[in-house]
Structure 1
Amino acid sequence: MKMTLRQLEVFEAIARSGQVSKAAQWLGMTGPAASMALAELEKQLSVRLFERVGNRLRLNAQGAQLLPLATELLAQASKVEALFNASGAVLAGELKVGASTTIGNFLLAKAAVAFGQQHLDALVDVSIHNTSAVIEQVANFEVELGFIEGHCVDRRLDVRAWHQDHLCVFCHPAHPLAGRKVSVDEVRQQYWVLREEGSGTREHFVNAAHALGLHPEARFCFSTADAIKLAVKQGAGLGVLSELALERELARRELALIEVTGLSITRPFFLIRHKSRQSTALANAFVQFCQNFFNIQERPVV
């Protein structure tokens, strides 16, 4: 069957208006073009759909059967167009996002809720893992967007610098180094409480430390910020986490910062997508929403 949506649009418009000329005006067509579209539809279906009553067209029994079906088909087609139209005002469906721990817990959890409150038919499903696991999720098409703290060298993925973060060295408030600016030598013999292997936080800190000739010995490793903070509060060693994760404890003076001379631990966050996957309107809208929500400036592609 070669029936077209345009033919159904003409049919529905004539059924509503009762006149070919008025239907053509509604649809921005010429009268002859509308008449031809109706004639082609009737030819495809091998039935007449209208009876002429004076200067008007009235649905016959076959036309009355077709009208609700045509209306439903046209409505579904409009939904498809809206779903895949990046400039469409209506955003609906589920967006799967992978985020490394700091970004997921302290940024995207808030952004996903705020986005959902603005777009009630959209759901942002955020799964939180370490950087290496998020890279695998994006590479395997398990999520459409990945937000990571560590570097990504997978050539299948497009990597863009997205945001900035600052890592902090911290300790128990009673530690001898608490609140001080110290040299690398003064922390050289300290034990450390770090994130697990594969963590972007750990990767960035260790690389920065090695650049200063500091080789931190991890006495304990944990996969969550809360576990690291608890261990440091118990005196297990010095910790390193994002300032985003320490805000509450520092305000309550449950932890204290240490400034290590020469240790530069400002780091980028990255947005990653699969190069072979076409971005959906929902994904693009969420990325733009996050840019505005966190006041992020556009950054160059890595």
Structure 2
Amino acid sequence: MRYTLRQLEVFLAAAHHNNLTRAAESLAMSQSAASSALRDLESQFDVQLFDRVGKRLQLNELGQSVRPRAEALLEQARQLELTLQRHQDIGHLKVGATLSIGNYLAVEIMARYMGEQAGARVELEVANTSTIVRKVANFELDIGLIEGEVHHPELDMLPWRDDELVVFCAPDHPWAGKPWLSDEQLLATEWIVRESGSGTRQHFDWAMHGLLPELNIKLELQHTEAIKRAVEAGLGVGCLSAITLVDAFRRGSLVPLPVPQRNFHRRFYFALQRNKFRSAGMQRWLEMCRESG
């Protein structure tokens, strides 16, 4: 074999950091050793994988095509090493989840996963849909749990479970207790919604097609709890996933507002890098998610 796994590690680190010095630091190598490894990899095949502009490295077309294959190969090598060593971190996963899923579903699944596999660790990153998708595509996360389907050339989107958005208000709001809201009422209210880039906002916009340009969006907030607090304070009407509102509806601090003429049904999805090796730990995580749904 004309290349080494270490050379591939240097190549991938340089692709991630766009800088050889930072790549070397991330691998605990000297810059000269990292530079030599990358130079040897390119010279052995008489190719160039990066365009070099000063100290900045930018993947060229060949480098971009090689990157996912190198990622998959290294991931398989890591899994083989873990299996051979019977390392206690064999179930280690990096999971990304959108805010609704991360705060209301993923933590329980994480606890079950870690309880089932002795020594297993899960790193959970909670962010909006666009951030999770980008990091899964960039091999920074093993699995993404997202709200709504996203079309991305490097990702496989697997259906997980059904969900729906719910319009809601404070219990002392004039509309509380109404049997349903008309489109005219939807246009007359002030809305407190999630920010652009979130799965919840994407589906809210889709459900409000035909009304969206005229809707009065008063506040755009990044966190579901902030939206609920603002609605409780009487600042407007909100729209969030049903899973985030169960406790508030039970307490009576918020009340649902039926909007039957609008389709608020949606699905949660798994986002997976299609070129990433799917370890036994990843497969078990997916199974647990489906069992929880």
TM-score w.r.t. the length of structure 2 is: 0.68
Query: Could you tell me which residue of structure 2 aligns to residue 254 of structure 1?
Result: 253
Q: Per-residue CA shift, 1:166-205, capped at 9, x if unaligned?
A: 1100001111111211211122111100001101001101
Q: Which moved more, 1:210-219 or 1:177-186?
A: 210-219
Structure 1 distance, partners of 2:197, 2:277, is 28
Q: How has the CA–CA distance of structure 1 residues 91 and 253 changed in structure 2, closer, same or farther, with 3 Å as cutoff?
A: same
Write the distance in 1 (CA, Å) between the matches of 2:228 and 2:153.
35
Kept in 2: contact 1:191–1:219 (CA 8 A): yes
- Cα shift readout 1:30-72 (whole Å, capped 9, x = no counterpart): xxxxxxxxxxxxxxxxxxxxxxxxxxxxxxxxxxxxxxxxxxx
The corresponding residue for 1:142 is: 140
Please name the residue that 1:184 is paired with: 183
After superposition, residues 200-239 of structure 1 pair within 5 angstroms as 200-211=199-210, 215-239=214-238
What's the RMSD between the two structures over aligned residues? Answer: 2.1
Alignment of structure 1 residues 285-300 onto 2, 5 Å:
285-292=284-291, 294=292, 296=293
Q: Residues 192 and 284 of structure 1: is their aligned pair in 2 closer, same or farther, counting only changes over 3 Å?
A: same
Partner letter of residue 253 of structure 2?
E
Check conservation: 2:189, 2:236, Cα contact below 8 A: yes
Amino acid at match of 1:147: L
2 CA distance for matches of 1:149 and 1:130? 9
Q: Report the equivalent of 2:104.
A: 106
Going from structure 1 to structure 2, the CA distance change for 1:81 and 1:251 (only over 3 Å counts) comes to same
Which residue number in structure 1 is paired with residue 57 of structure 2?
Answer: none
* C-alpha distance after superposition, 1:242-266 (max 9, x if no partner): 1111111111111111112311101
Q: Secondary structure at the match of 1:152?
A: coil
Secondary structure, aligned partner of 2:209: helix
Structure 2: how far apart are the matches of 1:79 and 1:253? 50
SS of the residue corresponding to residue 235 of structure 1 reads: coil
Select 1:80's aligned residue among 80, 83, 106. 83
Conserved? CA contact 1:192–1:220, under 8 Å: yes
CA apart distance, 1:213 = 6.7
Structure 1 residue 214: Cα displacement:
7.4
Specify the code of the residue in structure 2 equivalent to 1:174: D
- Which residue is equivalent to 1:3? none
User: Could you tell me how far apart the structure 2 residues matched to 1:215 and 1:138 are?
Assistant: 35
What letter is aligned with 1:264?
N
In structure 1, the partner of 2:53 is: none
Alpha-carbon offset, residue 217 of structure 1 = 2.3
TM-score by length of 1: 0.66
Deviating 4+ runs (over 6 angstroms):
none
The aligned amino acid for 1:251 is: R
Query: 1:166 corresponds to which residue?
Result: 164
Taking the aligned partners of 2:266 and 2:82, their CA distance within structure 1 comes to: 42
Q: Is the 8 A contact 2:83 2:90 kept in 1?
A: no
Identity %: 32
2:243 is matched with which residue? 244
Question: 1:135 is matched by which residue type in structure 2?
Answer: V
Mark the CA change 1:196 to 1:79 in structure 2 (over 3 Å): closer, same or farther. closer
Residue number in structure 1 paired with 2:64 = none
Within 2, Cα distance between the matches of 1:182 and 1:135? 34
Q: What amino acid is aligned across from residue 227 of structure 1 in structure 2?
A: A
| CA apart distance, 1:215 | 4.1
The alignment status of 1:125 with 2:128, answered yes or no, reads no
Count of equivalent residues? 213
Contact 2:205–2:212 at 8 Å: present in 1 too?
A: no
Question: In structure 1, what is the Cα distance between the partners aligned to 2:212 and 2:224?
Answer: 26
Amino acid aligned to 1:195: R
Q: Is the 8 A contact 1:206 1:215 kept in 2?
A: no
1:289 CA drift (Å): 1.6
Residues 212 and 83 of structure 1, relative CA distance in 2, 3 Å threshold: farther
